[in-house]
A and B are shown apart, each in its own frame.
Chain A
Amino acid sequence: MTWLVPLLVLVPLLGAAVALGLLNHQKLQRAITVVVLVVALAVAVTLMVLVDQHGTIVVQVGGWEAPYGISLVVDRLSALLLTVSASVLLVVLLFSIGQGLAADDGEAPVTIFYPTYLVLAAGVLDSFIAGDLFNLYVAFEMLLVASYVLITLGGSEQRVRAGTTYIVTSLIASAIFLAAIGLVYGATGTVNIAQISERMAALPEHVQLLLHTMLLIGFGIKAAVFPLAFWLPDSYPTAPAPVTAVFAGLLTKVGIYAIIRLETIIFPRPQLNTVLLIVAILTMVVGVLGAVSQTDVKRLLSFTLISHIGFMVMGIGLGSVVGTAAAVFYTVHHIVVQTTLFLVSGLMERVGGTTSTRSLGGLLKASPLLAALYLVPAFNLGGIPPFSGFIGKLGLFRAAAIDGSPLAYATIAAGVVTSLLTLYALMRVWDAAFWRPRPAAEAAAPHASVAEPHAHLRSPEPAPLTVSEDTGKAFHPGGTTAVTDAPHASHASSPHTAPTATQDGVGEAPARVRLPRMLVGVTTVAVLGSVALTVVAGPLYGYATRAAESLESPDRYVQAVLGGGR
């Protein structure tokens, strides 16, 4: 079954090429993109089952044996993350189709969206199966270049500004990573991760420390750990909601994945574990303090994203099987929940017309379903017991307690405080956006249409779909968020414009009614998925533990890759 592995990269890339050729056939483009990601998901699930039964799958590309050729390695960690990423990519794609992100509305030349999205998918999936550092670098570049295009989608002034921060930071991270690869090659004479793992121990201590630090900084910028996370809240919120969702869910986790590999396979000794734990504490606390002070939902979520990266770093920094297992589980949980929250924030923006907590309000009456969709992942992220966030945090705290050092207990304290503050920040959004009535005069400056929301609040039907349509129209004139909300504006205005402006049925009457239903449907699926993590928590945690066990004994990985076996 080794032929399945390269498909993960090949299919999305070929799909991107085909979709690029079909720029004028949006329906076909959409269909191809969906099919490609469904295939990728199917392959990932198959691999996850196979790897668990038969052990690590290694593909030597082109038949060149391990140290000379390029190896693609799928172990349990890779397979698990592949499955989660592929499903998240698919869900976000469906959301963006529902939102009509690719609709030709003049604001954004987004026929390019689907091909770019597929390249991003290929990059993300490739980075999980890369068996050597240089291939990992190429995978990173693939997903980064795609993300540069996605974050500046439409090229509005705000997005160009936000994109610049993101791009320059990513460029520096890549440069550091590439320099580290060069030095690793100079020191060990190989870039194959398994072979590096064998040879690294023979190097002098200070050389190891230098290489370790450089790689960690390179990955740390991508994962957005504390001192290297400043770029994230500046750049993520301006992108369209689905793009932000997929970035928040996956791109930072690719960095976390690389750090897990680095700390377990390449540097199995606890060389920098103390540093990692301190960084974890700082990431958690500083991130969540940032979240508490924000008034914009998307920025607030970006800060909680940073703070929860700290939990994963904590699990890695403990350097034990239980710690790594908890980190892996938490990564899976966080990918799903953070993506879901960003999707919900996209819906909130659609219904409320803005993401600022100052002008939002009355969403509970406007759309009770949306309120439920927000509340569930919010509780989940905050770590309220039945949800997977609680299980993940419990696992991490247990691992830290087993470790038993004062620093480990300090991380527990920081983790508890962070959970509470996360809950506080998210409940503040709940209070402002859902619980209270919409502020009338407060929305003064940027909002031209203050009167209209009350009109729809009084409207008898509580059905979220109808209401979101109403508000969509009501808020178009006052569109403060016109830049971030281009598709919304397009749908709102489509009834007034001639049908010629619409394309392939996106803006036609029946499709327009169906669109929000699809958005709500997809988001509901995402929320249910995050709840399902609780249901399957037992098997999932078992899987994560088995993944961590094979990670913490790097010999197995080396054996699988260099031993030539399957």
Chain B
Amino acid sequence: MTVTLVLVIAMAVLFSCGVYLLLERSLTRMLLGFLLLGNALNLLLLVMSGAAGNPPIGKSADGIADPLPQAFALTAIVITFAVSAFLLALIHRSWKLSRADEVEVDEADVAIGRERDDADEDDPEITTDAEQEATR
């Protein structure tokens, strides 16, 4: 199978930027990260359809572009579109409610952290993180 190197490189860049942004706490950055990730996935599907440059319709079965990955990419685009719309609504809601764009630490985790904090007077933030690690 022949693949286009440029597409692979573009895909790799999109993937890494997308994952980096998804790991942020800011919701808007997460959305941007998700969009990049979605595009990286579409490129991946496209790369899997083989060499570029073949016509979509031809007289014989060989030598024409594989339509299946294009159908996959199309479906994936629609799903990405719907989910992005939902994420935007969620960000808007979060902004309206608390003027905050950040994902907060889970309350129950904080509570457990605080409990331990009372016991041995640690930094609550650190204890919370340790607790989260333990949960994982």
Residues of chain A touching chain B, judged by Cβ–Cβ distance below 8 Å, are: 134, 138, 141, 145, 148-149, 152, 155-158, 160-165, 167-168, 171-172, 175, 178-179, 181-183, 185-186, 191, 227, 229-230, 233-234, 290, 293-294, 296, 299
Q: Which residue of A lies closest to B96 (CB)?
A: A155
Q: How far is the CB of A107 from chain B (nearest CB, A)?
A: 13
Given contacts A175-B38, A183-B44, 9 further A-B contacts (CB under 8 A): A141-B79, A158-B107, A161-B104, A165-B103, A167-B86, A171-B22, A182-B44, A185-B72, A230-B135
Selected from B22, B44, B69, B79, the residue in CB contact (under 8 A) with A172 is: B22
Instruction: Kindly provide the distance from the CB of A159 to the nearest chain B CB, expressed in whole angstroms.
Output: 10
Cβ–Cβ contact B41 & A175, under 8 A: yes
Q: Which of B51-59, B87-95, B119-127 binds A?
A: B87-95
Asked if A186 meets B76 with Cβ closer than 8 Å, knowing A161-B103, A172-B22, A179-B41, the reply is: no
A148, A157, A160, A186: the one contacting B48 at CB < 8 Å is: A186
Would A182 and B108 count as touching, CB distance under 8 A? no
CB pair B41 A182 closer than 8 Å:
yes
Would you list the 5 A-B pairs with minimal beta carbon distance, nearest first? A186-B48, A230-B136, A182-B44, A234-B106, A157-B97
What secondary structure prevails in chain B residues at the interface with A? helix
* Chain A residues within 8 Å of B93, by CB: 152, 155, 160
A190 to B, closest residue via Cβ:
B68
Contact partner of B30 (CB less than 8 A), chosen from A163, A168, A179, is A168
Number of A-B contacts (CB under 8 A): 92
Please tell me if B112 contacts chain A, counting CB pairs below 8 Å.
yes
Can you spell out 26 A-B residue pairs with CB atoms less than 8 angstroms apart? A141-B83, A145-B79, A145-B82, A145-B86, A148-B86, A152-B90, A157-B94, A157-B97, A160-B97, A161-B94, A162-B106, A168-B22, A171-B37, A175-B38, A178-B45, A178-B76, A181-B72, A182-B48, A183-B44, A185-B72, A186-B48, A191-B68, A227-B136, A230-B136, A294-B108, A296-B108
For residue A164, give the distance in angstroms from its CB to the closest CB of chain B.
5
Q: How far is the CB of B29 from chain A (nearest CB, A)?
A: 11
Nearest-neighbor residue (CB-CB) of B19 within chain A: A172
Please pick, from B90, B135, B136, the residue contacting A164 in the complex, using a CB distance under 8 A.
Answer: B90
Query: Considering residues B47, B97, B106, B135, which has the most beta carbons from chain A within 10 angstroms of its beta carbon?
Result: B135
Known: A152-B90, A157-B98, A183-B48. A164 touches B27 (CB 8 A): yes
Which B residues are in CB contact (< 8 Å) with A183?
44, 48
- The answer to whether residues A175 and B37 also contact, given A145-B86, A168-B22, A182-B48 and a CB cut-off of 8 A, is yes
Interface pair A185/B103, CB less than 8 Å apart: no
Minimum distance in angstroms from A304 CB to a CB of chain B: 14
Report whether B90 and A182 are in contact in the complex, using a CB–CB cutoff of 8 Å.
Answer: no
Cβ of B1 under 8 Å from chain A? yes
CB < 8 Å neighbour of A167 from B47, B68, B90, B135 = B90
Point out the residues of chain B lying under 8 angstroms from A163, CB to CB.
Answer: 90
Q: Is B4 an interface residue (CB 8 A)?
A: no
Q: List chain B residues, Cβ under 8 A from A172.
A: 22
